[in-house]
Structure 1
Amino acid sequence: MPRRGGLEWLRARDPGLRAVRRAARVALVACTGFYAARYGLGNHVAAIYALFGAIATGGMSFVPGTPRERARTLLAVLPVAAALVALGTMLGVHSWTAALGMFGVGFLVTYAGVGAPRLGGLAGGLQAFYILACFPPYAPATLGSRLAGLATGIVLMAAAEMWLLPDPPPGRYTDRLARAAALASRALRALAAEPRSPPSAGPEQLTAASQELRLSRVPDDERPTSASARDRALCQGAAYMVHLLGQTRQLTQDARDTPGTRDPAAARLLQASATACHDIALGLSGRGPAPSDAPYTSAAADFEARRVRLPTWSPNSAAVVRGGAIALDIAHTGTFLITAVRIALGAPVPADTTPPAQRPGPFWYAGRPTLSLYASRLRAHLTPRSVYFQNAVRIALALTAARLIVGELDLTHGLWALLATITVMGTSATGTRTALWPAFSGTLAGAAVVAVMLYSVADHVVVYAVVLPPLYLLAFSAGTVLGMGWGQAFSTIAAAAAFAQLGPAMPGLAAVRFTDVVIGGLTGALAGLLAWPQGGAGELRRACSRQLDQSTRAVTEIIGTITGAGTAGDALARTRRAQVAAEASYAQYATERGDPDPAHPADEDWMAILLAGNRVITMGQSLADHCSPGALAAWPPSAAHLRDAAHRLRLTALPLMYDLRSRKPRPTPAEPPAPNAPTDRTVIADVFAASGTRAPDPLLYYAVDAAIWLTGLQGVITAIRRTTDARTAAPG
């Protein structure tokens, strides 16, 4: 053990000792209920169900939230657990009825986790209740004892969540968003100050704040992945905040490069954005009311009127125009961010004004009840293309096959075969392979110890009663601290110690237990490897590839329309639909424990792709609303540069789309920008050249906004490709 000492070593493996505390709760509750029924009431049936009631809801389940929220969740699922036990008791009359029920329960319980992380976290435990009840002996007369034991275990577990070594409340994603908003507010306020100077929050701090919003940096119990309007709004608000921080970072860098360049109207707009971000931080942290877009009303109107009268003779005019366009982009993003935050806080928002032909709008879910949104997600994923659906079918098939095999072979302790199936099933082939070997090796090691224990202790029940609590403490903490194999080994020993108190135990039980685990593990492994093995990452790759495809098509179509080189179509509407699908896939991916596909773009790449799609929709719609078809055709150089930039964006995205679809990322040579590659500065120069000594035509400022938009998208897509190529080219 390292020199730092046992406690420091344990804290390094188990931050906050969360796993140890949870294991202590489960061990004490499970053993208390078991001992009370076994030795106090002499009821073996109630004893085993009290034991499993605590283990299934405390050890086999992951329920996010505060201790009080977890306790409420456990009490809320008690009727469901009782129904599953009753169903298993009735269908256990024949192997084939039990197997049919196993398929229905396996599918429904797993699929119910769509959009509900707490239900998803309880899936394994709920399935265990049916599994336990559907095995011999078939004894409907014992249903009362089974339900009494079950209720005892779950109620005690709910009480323990609140009062027995409770975990500290998990962090809140709203606090992360609030901290990012506060940082953006300080940076924007500094940029709006007179004289203008680089803000104290440098580009590195703004980048770090963006990274902290990515779900890969967020603990499982803090991630907003449910179907509720609040969680949807938090995820969408985070995307807007990432873009706002990125544009603020750009202005910060510009302030360092050209200090003193300042437009009073743009400064007032930045000040309004700073105020809005400050109000967002207060609202999300609970120290103020929900934010309002009031700060933008007069500042935006003032800026729009001011920038079309900007003199052209100043040496800094181009920098002022560019800074103003970025400030307007920040303000535009801020209004969307405020709407998302108001939805997350439960405040009223304006009705969706998106025309029917262009729906779904950006906030289509606002005002809809959670049950309606949950039902909508259930319907949306009832398709073989959905990873939720795929995973539910795979688990149902594996459990059904294991139940049929156990019944056909008449295995005495076949319960462990199905529990092993649940253990090794993952949402991807990688996840299944990762769980398979530790499950087998741990069980084999535990079975060897069990054989020695049963031979040495024989029928001295008091010994089993004494060692049961520490064994379960190790069973539910060793997996986190030492690895899954250790947890499986201690679980095998603890289960043998519990059942040895209910009847005669022979040394051969160890071999029986290991045989059951091998059968269940192999069944789960085959189902996991053969049926839809790509998991959440596979579907997310396809969804993001489609989203990139539709987004870049929409950009090309919008630019072609406003420059007179094309006609408006439905590309933006298709992008909205692709965005919704990609966001749903990302939510599924975020619910998976660990990274099931580390060879491909990691979480920051996925969120960057979603951010790009979001920017295409919001800014693309704004340009389509303000610029009539052919509005910029009167200025050929600007129109040509915008079309070239849109075409270059599409070409940059194509290799990334191919990599995502093919699952075979390949190194691509670096492509330095061509000397004449169009940028926002190029278009700004065109605007001044076309205007001569006059103030630019107001329409030309939309060319500047479009150029800022395209430059930002180009930077996002290029950064994703560089990250992907760097991972692919890395040794090993």
Structure 2
Amino acid sequence: MSRRDGLEWLRARDPGLRAVRRSARVALMACTGFYAARYGLGNDVAAIYALFGAIATGGMSFVPGTPRERAGTLLAALPAAAALVALGTVLGVHSWTAALGMLVVGFLVSYAGVGAPRLGGLAGGLQAFYILACFPPYAPATLASRLAGLATGVVLMATAEMWLLPDTPPGRYADRLARAATTASGALRALAAQTRSLPLDSLEQLTTASQELRLSKVPDEERPTSASARHRAICQSAAYMLHLLAQTRQLAQDAREAPGGRDPAAARLLEASATACHDVARGLSGQGPAPSDAPYAAAAADFATSRISPVTCSPRNAAVVRGGAIALDIAHTGASLVTAVRIALGASIPADTTPPAQRPGPFWYAGRSTLSLYACRLRAHLTPRSVYFQNAVRIGLALAAARLIVGGLDLAHGLWALLATITVMGTSATGTRTALRPAFSGTLAGAAVVAVMLYTVTDHVAVYAALLPPLYLLAFSAGPVLGMGWGQAFSTVAAAAAFAQLGPARPGLAAVRFTDVVIGGLTGALIGLLAWPQGGAGELRQACSRLLDQSTRAVTETIDTLTRGSTSDDALARTRLALVIAEESYAQYANERDDTDPAHDADKDWMAILLTGNQVITMGQSLVDHCSSGALAAWPLSAARLRDAAHRLRLTALPLVDDLRSSKPRPPPGEPPAPSTRTDSIVIADVLTDSGGRATDPLPYYAVDAAIWLTSLQRVVTALATTGPS
């Protein structure tokens, strides 16, 4: 293989050579701190902590952001790292105190990342600081040297993040959202034109724009997953944009199937939505001010008058009425999108008008500090139903158990057992088992090389010093490029080369290292099997099951409120809470690697379920806000059809809800149900027949809006229930 071919192969496995650059930074800074303390100051304690300071913050941590942001995060975490080293030094007096501290530290450090991706990315490194300090020798007198070495390693790593082979700044999710808004704007403007004709590839562009917003398609460092108001607003904007794109695509399909029938008022509403999307794109990309919903005011008033005019009310204009209802849905969604984007950009928004009984409203977080929102997220996930809580408990228990076992067996170099536990712990038993084989095989291969190296090189320290930088370069680059087993192998050899410079090392060290890794790995696997073994995949099924259940309940309740005047419960509020948990579970699941779902091995379109919840909340709240309780009871025929449609939606969703809750494989789906007349077509015909071509009360047209809503939901849920969420 030529040099050029080799570089192309490497770039294919490591786009942008990010892993190689990161490995170079870690290797150089870790070795610099180690050599300075070991050979410059003659302080072995400071040397080992300088080495681990750089490795833990650079090699075991994955902090998102620009190089400057990553450097700032590492420096900000230095006091916490020092506190953990001090705590480990004090509690290391007994195995049981060290294990108890490990339980608390393991849980708190992991759980703290629930609303702070940068802190979550540092979890493994911060835990490593406590692990290193709580192992023998128990030497509180060396705390100053430990902290000095730690500070050296962290500061060197922070400096390297900015100046040594810095990574290209990651892309922004807001830019994806801006591109989607630009696509939607172009399609809406074409639909508002006289010809209502779109380019041939417009539907594919709308679909592509939706796909780009899916978290599974977004690199980890681009995901807006923090608890800040900006990130919450961007995520909410994406939800509104997905619904807007889906309805725009539906309108485009209708225009192709039934050309003509253009309603000027609906066209002006679409034009206003196109303008709003254009302004959203400019605002998010930094090319213009925050968007405004001002374009909607005149267009919405004009449409409200036009849709009940005698011309529009003709029974021959069913397609026009349907198109107008979809245009109105797009407008409502666009107005909410504008509000969410204004929050993301730090602009002011109108006061929350959500009735107290329906709160929290959709924008409850606006104006609140990041600290208070972070506290809210911590409280919301302090439940066994949260994947973050489950994972924190599992890691805390596994690390504490491993520390007790190592202390009880009095294993030398026992810290490797706990580091192995961190390495193999996934969010499910399947993920943990998947990591065991490469961890064990890689360590065994590395141990064999270590035995040969120590036997051959013996006590020639200069050889170990020369080998250390390339070994650590390979240790941190081989994993992402070649696989976890290769990373473990080179890490084993590099660790042996480092410790051989601190004292006499014999070939038996290889067997010790392998024994420690086996003990740590098996402990992690056992805890993973006993504590929430389904992990993110299982919890995501449960979260999406609850979301579908609450969503269809909310639909039934909303329709009953509009058609019967039933007392409104808090179903919409419960759906919002279920959606939050489902979105968090999906974000966690999307981060898992090689974590298959044992009961449902096909990949699932979880985003379709999340979008269903968003549709229920968005349009359900709009109907409740604009149509008073019992307002549709005066049109019993349309009201009955809406109740039937809501009931049918609920019945369609129930088997899927039960399937998601079940841990047993689902039988293959049967034949799809025979197509039936859509609710929206029936209700539109009823409303137009009742109008008799005369100007009517605008209230019946809320039945049309509700019918469009129900039909859209029925289409999505039927697809999921028929083929499974795949």
Displacement after TM superposition at 1:472 (Å): 0.6
Q: Which residue of 1 aligns with 2:625?
A: 625
Go from structure 1 to structure 2 and tell me whether the alpha carbon gap of 1:686 and 1:559 turns closer, same or farther (over 3 Å shift).
Answer: same
Contact 2:275 2:295 in 1 (8 A): yes
Q: Which residue of 1 aligns with 2:685?
A: 685
Q: Secondary structure at the match of 2:666?
A: coil
Alignment of 1:7-46 (within 5 A): 7-46=7-46
Contact 1:428 1:596 in 2 (8 A): no
* Residue deviations 1:358-390 (CA, integer Å, cap 9, x gap): 111111111111100111111222222222222
Supply the distance in 2 between the matched residues of 1:206 and 1:198 (Cα, whole angstroms): 11
Displacement after TM superposition at 1:538 (Å): 2.0
Displacement after TM superposition at 1:238 (Å): 0.5
Q: Which residue of 2 aligns with 1:178?
A: 178
Supply the distance in 2 between the matched residues of 1:703 and 1:184 (Cα, whole angstroms): 27
Displacement after TM superposition at 1:518 (Å): 0.8
Q: Which residue of 2 aligns with 1:609?
A: 609
Go from structure 1 to structure 2 and tell me whether the alpha carbon gap of 1:10 and 1:649 turns closer, same or farther (over 3 Å shift).
Answer: same
TM superposition score normalised by structure 1: 0.96
Q: Which residue of 2 aligns with 1:730?
A: none
Q: Which residue of 2 aligns with 1:71?
A: 71
Displacement after TM superposition at 1:535 (Å): 1.5
Displacement after TM superposition at 1:342 (Å): 0.9
Q: Which residue of 1 aligns with 2:361?
A: 361
Q: Which residue of 2 aligns with 1:671?
A: 672
Go from structure 1 to structure 2 and tell me whether the alpha carbon gap of 1:564 and 1:673 turns closer, same or farther (over 3 Å shift).
Answer: farther
Supply the distance in 2 between the matched residues of 1:440 and 1:478 (Cα, whole angstroms): 16
Supply the distance in 1 between the matched residues of 2:557 and 2:593 (Cα, whole angstroms): 39
Go from structure 1 to structure 2 and tell me whether the alpha carbon gap of 1:312 and 1:179 turns closer, same or farther (over 3 Å shift).
Answer: closer
Moved more, 315-324 or 520-529: 315-324
Supply the distance in 1 between the matched residues of 2:231 and 2:461 (Cα, whole angstroms): 51
Displacement after TM superposition at 1:642 (Å): 1.5
The residue type equivalent to 1:222 in the other structure is: E
Alignment of 1:55-204 (within 5 A): 55-199=55-199, 202-204=202-204
Contact 2:67 2:166 in 1 (8 A): yes
The residue type equivalent to 1:672 in the other structure is: P
* Residue deviations 1:242-298 (CA, integer Å, cap 9, x gap): 110111111111222222321111111111000000000000000111111111111
Supply the distance in 1 between the matched residues of 2:577 and 2:389 (Cα, whole angstroms): 20
Displacement after TM superposition at 1:629 (Å): 3.8
Alignment of 1:710-725 (within 5 A): 710-724=710-724
Contact 2:427 2:535 in 1 (8 A): yes
Structure 2 gap segments, 5+ residues each: none
Supply the distance in 1 between the matched residues of 2:224 and 2:531 (Cα, whole angstroms): 29
Q: Which residue of 2 aligns with 1:311?
A: 311
Moved more, 691-700 or 495-504: 691-700
Q: Which residue of 1 aligns with 2:583?
A: 583
Does 2:383 align with 1:380?
no
* Residue deviations 1:193-224 (CA, integer Å, cap 9, x gap): 12332246511110110010000000000011
Supply the distance in 2 between the matched residues of 1:349 and 1:603 (Cα, whole angstroms): 39
Displacement after TM superposition at 1:510 (Å): 0.5
Structure 1 gap segments, 5+ residues each: 728-732
Contact 1:290 1:341 in 2 (8 A): yes
Q: Which residue of 1 aligns with 2:264?
A: 264
Supply the distance in 1 between the matched residues of 2:153 and 2:593 (Cα, whole angstroms): 27
Supply the distance in 2 between the matched residues of 1:603 and 1:157 (Cα, whole angstroms): 39
Supply the distance in 1 between the matched residues of 2:650 and 2:176 (Cα, whole angstroms): 33
Contact 2:565 2:631 in 1 (8 A): no
Q: Which residue of 1 aligns with 2:226?
A: 226
* Residue deviations 1:129-188 (CA, integer Å, cap 9, x gap): 111111111111211111111111110100111111111111100000000001111111
* Residue deviations 1:426-464 (CA, integer Å, cap 9, x gap): 111111011111111110110011001100111111111
Displacement after TM superposition at 1:234 (Å): 1.1
Displacement after TM superposition at 1:351 (Å): 2.0
Alignment of 1:434-473 (within 5 A): 434-473=434-473
Supply the distance in 2 between the matched residues of 1:666 and 1:118 (Cα, whole angstroms): 42
Contact 1:199 1:252 in 2 (8 A): no
Q: Which residue of 1 aligns with 2:650?
A: 650
Q: Which residue of 1 aligns with 2:336?
A: 336
Contact 2:563 2:632 in 1 (8 A): yes
* Residue deviations 1:60-110 (CA, integer Å, cap 9, x gap): 111011111100000000111111111111111222221121112111111
Go from structure 1 to structure 2 and tell me whether the alpha carbon gap of 1:595 and 1:398 turns closer, same or farther (over 3 Å shift).
Answer: closer
Supply the distance in 2 between the matched residues of 1:487 and 1:597 (Cα, whole angstroms): 26
The residue type equivalent to 1:547 in the other structure is: L
Q: Which residue of 2 aligns with 1:294?
A: 294
Go from structure 1 to structure 2 and tell me whether the alpha carbon gap of 1:710 and 1:667 turns closer, same or farther (over 3 Å shift).
Answer: same
Go from structure 1 to structure 2 and tell me whether the alpha carbon gap of 1:390 and 1:115 turns closer, same or farther (over 3 Å shift).
Answer: same
Contact 2:63 2:70 in 1 (8 A): yes
The residue type equivalent to 1:278 in the other structure is: H
Does 2:351 align with 1:351?
yes
Q: Which residue of 2 aligns with 1:392?
A: 392
Contact 2:576 2:617 in 1 (8 A): yes
Contact 1:387 1:539 in 2 (8 A): yes
Q: Which residue of 2 aligns with 1:514?
A: 514
* Residue deviations 1:15-54 (CA, integer Å, cap 9, x gap): 1111111111111111111111111111111111111001
Go from structure 1 to structure 2 and tell me whether the alpha carbon gap of 1:368 and 1:195 turns closer, same or farther (over 3 Å shift).
Answer: same
Q: Secondary structure at the match of 2:114?
A: coil
Supply the distance in 1 between the matched residues of 2:152 and 2:176 (Cα, whole angstroms): 39
Q: Secondary structure at the match of 2:724?
A: helix
Moved more, 556-565 or 640-649: 556-565
Supply the distance in 2 between the matched residues of 1:272 and 1:51 (Cα, whole angstroms): 59
Supply the distance in 2 between the matched residues of 1:141 and 1:237 (Cα, whole angstroms): 54
Q: Which residue of 2 aligns with 1:634?
A: 634
Go from structure 1 to structure 2 and tell me whether the alpha carbon gap of 1:3 and 1:130 turns closer, same or farther (over 3 Å shift).
Answer: closer
Moved more, 387-396 or 505-514: 387-396
Go from structure 1 to structure 2 and tell me whether the alpha carbon gap of 1:229 and 1:587 turns closer, same or farther (over 3 Å shift).
Answer: farther
Supply the distance in 1 between the matched residues of 2:310 and 2:451 (Cα, whole angstroms): 87
The residue type equivalent to 1:372 in the other structure is: S
Supply the distance in 2 between the matched residues of 1:201 and 1:453 (Cα, whole angstroms): 61
Q: Secondary structure at the match of 2:389?
A: helix
Q: Secondary structure at the match of 2:367?
A: coil
Supply the distance in 2 between the matched residues of 1:145 and 1:415 (Cα, whole angstroms): 19
Contact 1:359 1:576 in 2 (8 A): no
Q: Secondary structure at the match of 1:633?
A: helix
Q: Which residue of 1 aligns with 2:694?
A: 694
Moved more, 51-60 or 246-255: 246-255
Q: Secondary structure at the match of 1:209?
A: helix
* Residue deviations 1:674-724 (CA, integer Å, cap 9, x gap): 44x443122111122222232343122111101110011112212333452
Supply the distance in 2 between the matched residues of 1:195 and 1:424 (Cα, whole angstroms): 59
The residue type equivalent to 2:342 in the other structure is: R
The residue type equivalent to 2:162 in the other structure is: M
Contact 1:312 1:694 in 2 (8 A): no
Supply the distance in 1 between the matched residues of 2:523 and 2:233 (Cα, whole angstroms): 40
Supply the distance in 1 between the matched residues of 2:91 and 2:343 (Cα, whole angstroms): 45
Q: Which residue of 2 aligns with 1:554?
A: 554
Supply the distance in 1 between the matched residues of 2:575 and 2:393 (Cα, whole angstroms): 30
* Percentage of matched positions with identical amino acids: 82
Moved more, 564-573 or 488-497: 564-573
Go from structure 1 to structure 2 and tell me whether the alpha carbon gap of 1:142 and 1:651 turns closer, same or farther (over 3 Å shift).
Answer: same
The residue type equivalent to 2:673 in the other structure is: P
The residue type equivalent to 2:545 in the other structure is: S
The alignment yields a C-alpha RMSD, in angstroms, of: 2.0
Q: Which residue of 2 aligns with 1:417?
A: 417
* Residue deviations 1:613-665 (CA, integer Å, cap 9, x gap): 22212222222233334433333332232222212211211111111111333
Supply the distance in 2 between the matched residues of 1:299 and 1:602 (Cα, whole angstroms): 45
Contact 1:464 1:501 in 2 (8 A): yes
Does 2:291 align with 1:281?
no
Q: Which residue of 2 aligns with 1:427?
A: 427
Contact 1:216 1:603 in 2 (8 A): no
Does 2:478 align with 1:478?
yes
Supply the distance in 2 between the matched residues of 1:186 and 1:341 (Cα, whole angstroms): 19
Go from structure 1 to structure 2 and tell me whether the alpha carbon gap of 1:365 and 1:649 turns closer, same or farther (over 3 Å shift).
Answer: same
